[in-house]
């Protein structure tokens, strides 16, 4: 399985092409639209989410609700495009270029964004040519692709969920959700304003977001993704680039504004001895091999263990501030306050949705690499046989 995304933040549309999906997998636009709506939600989102009502159009690779085995094309139209046709038009600017078109050119890069370095790399004097693609609007299609991946995993009995564990230094109490099933956790998260499973922490997070918005500033945080039902042995120890934790870490770090990733106890492992880190192995006739704990987050030696996969990522505060930081105009070289674009005071809840979907995508890709079959039913049979094999090993 492989995919590509294309499109600019204020362009006509966003597009994704997915190749390698097995045939006969159930897939509808509704399955994807549900996840796109979640990405646009969460307390702290800005005005752009009121403008765009993302709906996917499946234009290839699916017939009568099932995949064909050929490439699947997904398209999301940018509703705001109608206000940007002159500024973001495809055709060359004529002699009648308007003052508005000139005004929207950007020469003052924003600290923390791709603006300046992207302009240097691709030779753009109008930095809008950088920010239009580097924008987190691209994650719309990452979620759309991930929704397809989640449907693939669901068919194999593998479930995913994501939730917010920290915003602006406010940390959840793990005991509030430690004993919940993945279905119970998902229900709570999807009905919470900041996609958090700890109600007391959630109230404080909402207040912190409102307070920071009033100051023209932004907040970051931490999100956690959990995958249950994955069989052991996905990934490999034989080459560095086949290690599953490396792939998942790369996927998490590919999300806009993410600056750190950890599994299980994560960086907390530096504070405790090995006897309090590693997971003891047990066996029962009912379960086969399992771990008595899950401190390593479901991964050992670059492979899944069969335990829940637990991966967390940290998102920095969004660098587009309504109280802008100092920058330098690339034309005049004079100091100015950086350009202000529409922004969110906190996008951590939405980022948890993106994280869940990029992790689901990476897991789906890895499973397709391990079990090569052109039909969904054939793949199910292969994985069922493999699950029985590892149980009896």
Is 256 marked as a binding-site residue?
A: yes
Burial class from Cβ neighbours inside 10 Å (0-12, 13-18, 19+) for residue 171 reads: middle
Instruction: Please name which of 9, 1, 47, 71 lies closest in space to residue 372, comparing C-alpha atoms.
Output: 1
Is 318 marked as a binding-site residue?
A: yes
CB 75 within 8 A of CB 56: yes
Is 39 marked as a binding-site residue?
A: yes
Count of CA atoms in the C-beta half-sphere (13 A) of 335: 2
For residue 121, what are the contacts with CB-CB under 8 A and spacing of at least 6? none
Is 284 marked as a binding-site residue?
A: no
Is 254 marked as a binding-site residue?
A: no
Calpha distance 8→131 (Å, rounded): 9
Is 301 marked as a binding-site residue?
A: yes
For residue 341, what are the contacts with CB-CB under 8 A and spacing of at least 6? 110, 131, 320
Q: How far apart are the first and last CA of the chain?
A: 29
How far is the CA of 280 from the CAs of 39, 244, 294, in angstroms? Answer: 38, 21, 9
Cα angle at 319 between 315 and 321, to 5 degrees?
130
CB 36 within 8 A of CB 76: yes
Is 128 marked as a binding-site residue?
A: no
Is 234 marked as a binding-site residue?
A: no
Is 257 marked as a binding-site residue?
A: yes
Is 342 marked as a binding-site residue?
A: yes
**Which positions make up the binding site?**
39, 45, 133-135, 256-257, 301, 316-320, 342
**Which positions make up the binding site for FMN?**
133-135, 256-257, 301, 316-320, 342
**Which positions make up the binding site for NADP(+)?**
39, 45
């Amino acid at each position: 399985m492989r995919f590509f995304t294309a499109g600019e933040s204020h362009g006509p549309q966003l597009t994704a092409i997915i190749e390698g999906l097995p045939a006969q997998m159930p897939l509808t636009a509704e399955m994807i639209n549900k996840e796109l709506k979640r990405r646009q939600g969460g307390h702290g989102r800005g005005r752009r989410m009121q403008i765009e009502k993302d709906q996917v159009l499946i234009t290839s690779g699916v017939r009568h609700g099932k995949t064909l085995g050929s490439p699947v094309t997904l398209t999301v139209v940018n509703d705001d495009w109608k206000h940007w046709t002159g500024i973001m038009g495809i055709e060359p600017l004529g002699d009648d270029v308007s003052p508005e078109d000139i005004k929207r050119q950007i020469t003052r890069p924003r600290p923390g964004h791709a603006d300046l370095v992207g302009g240097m790399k691709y030779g753009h004097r109008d930095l809008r040519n950088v920010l239009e693609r580097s924008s987190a609007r691209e994650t719309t299609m990452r979620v759309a692709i991930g929704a397809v991946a989640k449907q693939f995993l669901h068919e194999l009995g593998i479930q995913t969920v994501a939730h917010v564990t920290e915003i602006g230094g406010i940390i959840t109490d793990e005991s509030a959700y430690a004993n919940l099933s993945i279905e119970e956790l998902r229900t709570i998260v999807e009905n919470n304003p900041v996609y958090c499973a700890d109600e007391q922490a959630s109230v404080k997070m909402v207040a912190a977001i409102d307070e920071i918005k009033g100051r023209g500033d932004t907040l970051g945080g931490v999100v956690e993704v959990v995958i249950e039902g994955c069989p052991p042995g996905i990934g490999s120890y034989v080459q560095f680039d086949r290690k599953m934790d490396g792939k998942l870490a790369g996927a998490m770090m590919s999300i806009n504004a993410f600056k750190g990733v950890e599994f299980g106890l994560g960086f907390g492992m530096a504070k405790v001895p090995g006897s309090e880190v590693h997971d003891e192995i047990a066996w029962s006739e009912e379960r086969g091999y399992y771990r008595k704990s899950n401190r390593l987050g479901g991964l050992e030696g670059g492979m899944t263990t069969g335990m829940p996969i637990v991966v967390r990522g940290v998102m920095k505060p969004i660098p587009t501030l309504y109280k802008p930081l100092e920058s330098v105009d690339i034309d005049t070289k004079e100091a100015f306050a950086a350009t202000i674009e529409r922004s969110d005071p906190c996008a951590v809840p939405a980022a948890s949705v993106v994280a869940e979907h990029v992790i689901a995508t990476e897991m789906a890709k890895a499973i397709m690499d391990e079990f090569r079959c052109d039909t969904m039913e054939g793949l199910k049979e292969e994985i069922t046989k493999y699950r029985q094999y590892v149980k009896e090993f």
